[in-house]
Amino acid sequence: MFGEVVLGIEKSIFDKAREEIKTGLPLISRFKQIIEERSGKPFPQEPLKQLEMARDAVFKSWNNKRAVDYRTIYKIPHSIGTAVNIQMMVFGNMSQNSATGVGFTRNPATGDKVFYGEYLINAQGEDVVAGIRTPQPIAELKKDMPVIFEQIRKITTRLERHYRDMQDFEFTIEKGELYMLQTRNGKRTGLAAVRIAVDMVKEKLISKEEAVQRVEPLQLNQLLHPMFDPKEKQRFKVIANGLNASPGAASGRVYFDPDTVVEMTAKGERTILVRRETSPDDIHGMHQAKGVLTATGGMTSHAAVVGRQMGKPSVVGCSALSVDEDNKLLKVANLTVKEGDFISIDGLSGEVMLGDVPTVESEVMQVIKGGLQEKEAPTYQYFTTLLSWADKIRRLKVRANADIPRDAEYAMKFGAEGIGLCRTEHMFFAEDRLPIMQEMILATTKQDRQKALDKLLPLQRSDFKGLFETMKGFPVTIRTLDPPLHEFLPKREELMVEITRMRVQNRPEEEITQKEKLLARVNELHEFNPMMGLRGCRLGIVYPEITRMQVRAIFEAATEVALTSKTVVPEIMIPLVSDVQEFKHQAEIVHQVAHQVAQETGIRIKYLVGTMIEVPRAAITADEISKEAEFFSYGTNDLTQMTYGFSRDDAGKFIQYYLDKDNKILLQDPFVTIDPAGVGQLIKISTEKGKKTRADLKVGICGEHGGDPASVIFCHFAGLDYVSASPFRVPLSRLAAAQAELK
Ligand code: PEP
Ligand code: MG
């Protein structure tokens, strides 16, 4: 150890010597020889010299690669330095009544209140961790050394009570005498963190406030998603690493297009959708696949956003992969994965593994999905107990981003207090609606467009009705159509190929002309920069009949639900506003239609009209906008994109260089955590200005940041009223909001 740690000689050299030593020199002499050869000096014999060298080695270890990397990952400042603690040496390897061991006062994996650990008779501490000898479970010590076992239990119980947290301790027994070497608060899994926190409140060791602070919000994810069996996982090869976009474990056969995923899933297969990147066209495949893997894209790319919303394990931006969708191949280094081969992806770590790693479904999810009764699910009870304490503490409300009743139902079960964002476009991508949507886009006259919209109206109405019913009187924020229209049409290149093919096959001229018309419209709608093109409220200004249809659907649905004596609180939200005049234009339509429906039905529904703040200009002119808008919701995906000028879909390609520890241009991905100095300032300025003209302005956030703990804390201090996160992130936002209050 001295050779390795103090003198920096590779451990393998000593290991090799240990193997070869069977004959010849005694091991100690051989080791001394190695040390003299490698370090150029004989092994120091004066104890004080040894101590000094050992002390300096500990100080130097602060700058070894492993330590530097660890600090970078956990955002520990590199400047704080370390301390050295010098302790008398005791020996666990002196006799058969000597021993050494490590342990935890509770199980760090499950949180079970059991004494947990292992030990070795006649051994040094190194032997326990190095795996040279197999240690015994600590329960055995009760038989080997009953008196000492009781002594350890007593001391560690006392240590736990003193520190009021689960302890990770080390001990040595020298000739029948026990020495405690070290104790510290033990690291634990999410499951253990929740259990231990709740148990300790029941044991009156800590307060509820402390319990709420003991669990990292992100750790709650571990309780929701299927996990790889940790023992099994070690047997499989990691072939690549990507961004851990949506946690959870998934394994299945690889398919490169969404239709095949749907087809093979229907046949009972477990599937993984692998794409260079996903688009709204892939939704059905993403829904059916066990997990999603992409080669490009960042943390707010389509695959990442939708993956999280669906609670689907997703690894994105895995740049080591080259995905050949045409030949249905995936290459990584010199390895080729073909369609139908098994891979496994770990959305918690970002690892991609070759083969079918076995998983286990989480207990909490079984309850949410209705497969398990609450009373049969102790983990679920722990989970809800902790969150109920958080709810009593927090000021910030937590809503969910949900577009369909099923997601809204999950959101409710996870404790959401309303829907903060319903992206209505997701309703149009459904199989039975896409053709009508296309008909609407292709229409050349207002009348034809209206005909198609009339067909969409009842479908939208039933969507909204479902949402209102599920949300049982909680507010539901519905956003008018946002994406550019070409997203609803087939791709330009694909159409060109198809037309050529039809010509070669001598298909009837009429059919070809039809396709050509479609292509012409696609060309017309083509944009060089669709993210800044005809989308958001611009769409509703160019085609006011779309807004009119959506608003009618909302109010007719709300009226139907109100008639069954249920409360409904629709909040209509106008996207991508940059100027108050845009908002006025759209709000005018909302008020008109609401009035019309009220006159037709005789029922007046209470509602709010507000806006998303996604464009810096809107943030800066918030005092003007809030004269008209009754609420603001920060769309921080677009606001970050437009403030930095980084494309939300492409930033994955360069952001890793910005985050690199040698470049240190960015400390965190602004698409994951709100950038306090820029985007955050816009939020603060805009909230202040907005409230200046309208004191009771309701302010929330519905970008992906609503489910990021650090951003939730930011929102609390910026004075927002609520955050809205994807349903599966609602619990962690509830916890983070309580922690913000306690701060
Ligand atoms: C946003 O921009 O933050 C937002 C919520 O809208 P979308 O992600 O749908 O653009
Ligand atoms: Mg947006």
Which atom of ligand 1 has the smallest separation from the CA of 702? 5
First to last CA, the chain: 43
pLDDT for residue 299: 64
Judge whether 353 and 343 are in contact, CB under 8 Å. yes
Judge whether 476 and 568 are in contact, CB under 8 Å. yes
If one counts every other C-beta atom within 10 angstroms of the C-beta of residue 591, the result is 14
Does residue 422 sit in helix, strand or coil? strand
Does residue 381 sit in helix, strand or coil? helix
For residue 335, which phi and psi values (nearest 5 degrees)? -105, 140
pLDDT for residue 538: 97
pLDDT for residue 133: 61
- Copy the structure tokens of residue 55: 């002390």
Looking at all shown ligands, the one closest to residue 280's CA atom is 1
Whether the pLDDT of residue 130 is over 60: the answer is: no
pLDDT for residue 603: 95
Which atom of ligand 1 has the smallest separation from the CA of 634? 3
Q: How far apart are CA 152 and CA 186, in angstroms?
A: 17
Q: Which of 318, 422, 537, 702 is catalytic?
A: 702
Looking at all shown ligands, the one closest to residue 423's CA atom is 1
Q: How far apart are CA 683 and CA 680, in angstroms?
A: 5
Angle at 575 between CA 572 and CA 580, to 5 degrees: 90
For 67-111, what is each residue's pLDDT tens digit? 777 776 667 788 889 999 998 889 999 999 999 998 899 987 778
Angle at 153 between CA 148 and CA 157, to 5 degrees: 150
Cα 305 to ligand 1 centre (Å): 10
Whether the pLDDT of residue 24 is over 70: the answer is: no
Taking alpha carbons only, the member of 706, 707, 716 closest to residue 739 is 716
Provide the 8-state DSSP code for 538.
Answer: H
- Ramachandran category for residue 348: left, alpha or beta (phi over 0 → left; psi -120 to 50 → alpha): alpha
Q: How far apart are CA 459 and CA 594, in angstroms?
A: 19
Cα 708 to ligand 1 centre (Å): 15
Does the annotation count 702 as an active-site position?
yes
pLDDT for residue 68: 78
Average pLDDT of 542-546?
A: 95
Contacts of 412 (CB under 8 A, 6+ apart): 470, 471, 472, 474
- Copy the structure tokens of residue 386: 């902790």
Q: Up-side HSE of residue 323: CA atoms within 13 Å toward CB? A: 20
Q: Which of 122-126, 168-172, 510-514, 581-585 is predicted least confidently?
A: 122-126
Length of the chain: 743
Whether the pLDDT of residue 425 is over 70: the answer is: yes
Q: Which of 302, 426, 486, 716 is catalytic?
A: 302
Taking alpha carbons only, the member of 514, 420, 484, 448 closest to residue 704 is 420
Give me the DSSP letters along 634-695. Answer: E-HHHHHHHHHT--TTTTHHHHHHHH-TTT-S-SS-TTTS--TTTHHHHHHHHHHHHHHH-T
715 in contact with ligand 1, CB cutoff 6 A: no
Q: Which residues pair with 272 in a beta bridge?
A: 254, 291
- Percent of residues, the chain, with pLDDT higher than 90: 68
635 in contact with ligand 1, CB cutoff 6 A: yes
Cα 422 to ligand 2 centre (Å): 12
Q: How far apart are CA 31 and CA 37, in angstroms?
A: 10
pLDDT band at 131 (very low <50, low <70, confident <90, very high): very low
423 in contact with ligand 1, CB cutoff 6 A: yes
pLDDT for residue 372: 87
724 in contact with ligand 1, CB cutoff 6 A: no
Cα 551 to ligand 1 centre (Å): 20
Q: State the greatest distance between any 2 C-alpha atoms of the chain, in Å, as a whole number.
A: 103
pLDDT for residue 73: 60
- Copy the structure tokens of residue 107: 């199980």
pTM beyond 0.85: no
pLDDT for residue 300: 59
pLDDT for residue 375: 92
Contacts of 344 (CB under 8 A, 6+ apart): 228, 236, 249, 250, 251, 352, 353, 354, 355, 356, 357
Average pLDDT of 134-154?
A: 90
If one counts every other C-beta atom within 10 angstroms of the C-beta of residue 529, the result is 8
Q: How far apart are CA 153 and CA 171, in angstroms?
A: 12
For 496-543, what is each residue's pLDDT tens digit? 999 999 999 999 999 999 889 889 989 988 899 989 999 999 999 999
Whether the pLDDT of residue 494 is over 50: the answer is: yes
Cα 302 to ligand 1 centre (Å): 11
Which atom of ligand 1 has the smallest separation from the CA of 300? 8
Whether the pLDDT of residue 206 is over 60: the answer is: yes
Pick the residue with more confidence: 700 or 16? 700
For residue 167, which phi and psi values (nearest 5 degrees)? -105, 145
In terms of DSSP H, where are the helices of 431-579? 434-442, 446-471, 492-504, 509-525, 537-542, 544-563
Which atom of ligand 1 has the smallest separation from the CA of 703? 3
pLDDT band at 215 (very low <50, low <70, confident <90, very high): very high
Whether the pLDDT of residue 307 is over 90: the answer is: no
For 665-687, what is each residue's pLDDT tens digit? 998 899 999 999 999 999 999 99
277 in contact with ligand 1, CB cutoff 6 A: no
Domains in the chain, start-ordered, CATH in brackets? 2-63 (no CATH), 99-188 (3.30.470.20), 225-360 (3.50.30.10), 394-484+527-742 (3.20.20.60)
Does residue 23 sit in helix, strand or coil? coil
- Copy the structure tokens of residue 229: 């069996």
Instruction: Please compute Rg for the chain using Cα positions.
Output: 31
Which atom of ligand 1 has the smallest separation from the CA of 482? 9
Cα 188 to ligand 1 centre (Å): 35
pLDDT band at 9 (very low <50, low <70, confident <90, very high): very high
Give CA 152 to chain center in angstroms.
40
482 in contact with ligand 1, CB cutoff 6 A: yes
- Copy the structure tokens of residue 741: 């209050």
For 382-417, what is each residue's pLDDT tens digit? 999 999 999 999 999 999 999 999 999 999 999 999
Q: How far apart are CA 36 and CA 721, in angstroms?
A: 68
Does the annotation count 302 as an active-site position?
yes
Pick the residue with more confidence: 659 or 121? 121
Ligand 1 atom 1: residue of nearest CA: 635
Ligand 1 atom 10: residue of nearest CA: 638
pLDDT for residue 110: 78
What average pLDDT is seen over the chain?
Answer: 91
pLDDT for residue 23: 60
For 615-660, what is each residue's pLDDT tens digit? 999 999 999 999 999 999 999 999 999 999 999 988 888 998 998 7
637 in contact with ligand 1, CB cutoff 6 A: yes
Cα 258 to ligand 1 centre (Å): 24
Judge whether 170 and 85 are in contact, CB under 8 Å. no
